[in-house]
Amino acid sequence: MKLLPLFFCSIWAALTPMTVFAQANAGPFTPAQVMTSIPAIPYTLAIQAPDGSASITGSELTLSAAKGTDIYANVDGSKIVDDTPRILFAPRDDFIFSARIQAGFHSAFDGAALLVYAGKAAWGKVLFERMPDDSNAVTTTITKGTGDDALHQQVEGNVVHLKIARKGGVYVFYLSTDGAAWRMLRTFALPTDQPVLVGFSAQSPKGGRFTARFSNLHWRAHGFDNYWHGE
């Protein structure tokens, strides 16, 4: 195993004394990614942040997105952008996964997301973002070659809880303002022959820099019984 140099200095301070490495044969991950783990998630995490930075303290993750970063596909597929800093892992079987997001909004379309990702043209995100009118809202995008966006709910303040559940080939996104009462937002499938990764992303397509903190991570290795609440 070859130890690789880190491409941002903050990760070394944040992860020590964890072992930070990338393997030449790392399954769905590329050798350029930094690999680590945290107690809250039972899978290896791949950190990719060439246009921003990432750090982990305990079970809290922080992503900072540089100006111009986005994961986006327009409705006719003529424009696809895929360069956000992110932390991803490759889950097996059914699961329920949630996180509390605290967002340091500055500019329109700054956002922090939970992400389902199988390549630049096959992904879904549930996104907490700043809107052009300076309100904050939760939106979703499902991309299967073309993007399909939806605006779901405005949120007071800069904190929200988001959740992804998978049961069979079905993914469901959820929203909560308190981490207890959940609202179902959107259901989708992601037909692909590529490995499906799950995790965290931050974007700042118009702003100078955007930072989000992901905490209260909860992982359950089973599907939901209640579709409407993801529990």
The parent domain of residue 108 ranges over 9-220
Across the beta sheet with 60-66, the strand order is: 52-57, 60-66, 209-220, 95-104, 159-167, 170-176, 183-188
pLDDT digits (tens, 9 = 90+) for 140-195: 999 999 999 999 999 999 999 999 999 999 999 999 999 999 999 999 999 899 99
Beta carbons of 64 and 52 less than 8 angstroms apart: yes
Cα 142 from Cα 134, distance rounded (Å)? 24
Per-residue pLDDT tens over the stretch 10-51: 333 333 333 232 322 334 655 567 999 999 999 999 999 999
- CATH code at 83? 2.60.120.200
Report if residue 225 sits inside a domain: no
Number of domains in the chain: 1
Tens digits of per-residue pLDDT, 86-142? 999 999 999 999 999 999 999 999 999 999 999 999 999 999 999 999 999 999 999
Q: Does 227 reside within a domain?
A: no
For residue 21, the 8-state DSSP code is B
Indicate whether 3 belongs to any domain. Answer: no
- The pTM is what? 0.87
In a domain, 92, yes or no: yes
CB 197 within 8 A of CB 28: yes
Strands (E), the chain: 34-38, 41-48, 52-57, 60-66, 71-73, 80-82, 86-89, 95-104, 111-117, 122-130, 136-144, 147-155, 159-167, 170-176, 183-188, 197-203, 209-220
